[in-house]
Structure 1
Amino acid sequence: MTQALQDSEVAANHRQRLLEGMAHAVASRGYADTTIADIVREAAVSRRTFYEHFNTKADCLLALYEAASRSALAVLRGAIDPARDWQEQVEKAMAAYFGCLEQSPMLVRTLFVEILGLGAEGLAVRRRANEDVVAFMLQMINGGHGMRGIHRRRTPLSREMAMAVVGGINELVLQAIEDERVDRLQELTAPAIALLRAVTRDAG
Structure 2
Amino acid sequence: MKTREPSHVDETQNDHHSRLLEAMAHVAASQGLAAASIAAVVAEAGVSKRTFYEHFTGKDDCFLALYRAASASALRTLREAVDPTQPWQDQVEHALGAYLAHLAAGPQLVRMLFVEIHQLGEVGAAVRREVMQSLADFMLETIQDRSALTPALAMAAVGGIHELVLQAIERGEAAELERLTPGASVVVRLLAGAQK
TM-score, length of structure 2 as denominator length: 0.89
Alpha-carbon distance, 1:156 to partner = 4.8
Q: Which residue of 1 aligns with 2:187?
A: 195
- SS of 2:70's partner is helix
Distance apart, 1:67 and its partner CA: 0.4
Deviations along 1:27-67, whole A, 9 cap, x unmatched?
A: 33332332222212222211211111112111110000000
Percent of matched pairs sharing the same residue? 50
CA displacement at 1:202 relative to structure 2? 5.5
Match among 154, 157, 160 for residue 165 of structure 1: 157
Q: What's the RMSD between the two structures over aligned residues?
A: 2.0
Pair 1:94-2:96 in alignment:
yes
For the 8 Å contact 1:21–1:42, the answer to whether it is kept is yes
Q: What amino acid maps onto 2:167 in structure 1?
A: Q
- Aligned pair count reads 193
Given that residues 37 and 59 in structure 2 are in contact (C-alpha distance below 8 angstroms), is that contact kept between their aligned partners in structure 1?
A: yes
* Contact 1:40–1:47, Cα closer than 8 Å, also in 2: yes
Q: Which of 176-185 and 108-117 deviates more?
A: 176-185
160-169 vs 96-105, greater mean Cα deviation: 96-105
Which residue identity is paired with 1:103?
A
Distance 2:44 2:91 in 1: 37
Which stretch shows the higher mean deviation, 177-186 or 192-201? 177-186
Structure 1 residues 128 and 201 mapped into 2: Cα distance closer, same or farther (>3 Å)?
Answer: same
Q: Is the 8 A contact 1:172 1:188 kept in 2?
A: yes
Q: Could you say which residue in structure 2 is the equivalent of 1:84?
A: 86
- Deviation (angstroms), 1:185: 1.2
TM-score where L is the length of structure 1 = 0.86
* CA distance in 2 between partners of 1:73 and 1:28 (Å): 25
- 1:81-160 residue pairs with structure 2 within 5 A? 81-141=83-143, 144=144, 152=145, 155-160=147-152
Q: 1:181 aligns with which of 163, 167, 173?
A: 173
Partner of 1:82: helix, strand, or coil?
A: coil
Structure 1 gaps of 5+ residues are: 145-151
* AA aligned opposite 1:40: V
Q: CA shift at 1:2, angstroms?
A: 7.1
1:202/1:194 CA distance change after superposition, 3 Å = closer
Q: 1:17–1:43: 8 Å Cα contact kept in structure 2?
A: yes
Give 3-state SS (helix, strand or coil) of 1:113's partner: helix
1:122-166 residue CA offsets vs partner (Å, 9 max, x unmatched): 00100111111111111121xx3xxxxxxx46x252110000001
Structure 2: stretches of 5+ with no match in the other structure: none
Measure, in 2, the Cα distance between the counterparts of 1:87 and 1:118. 36
CA 1:81–1:157: 2 relative to 1, 3 Å = same
Letter in 2 for 1:115: I
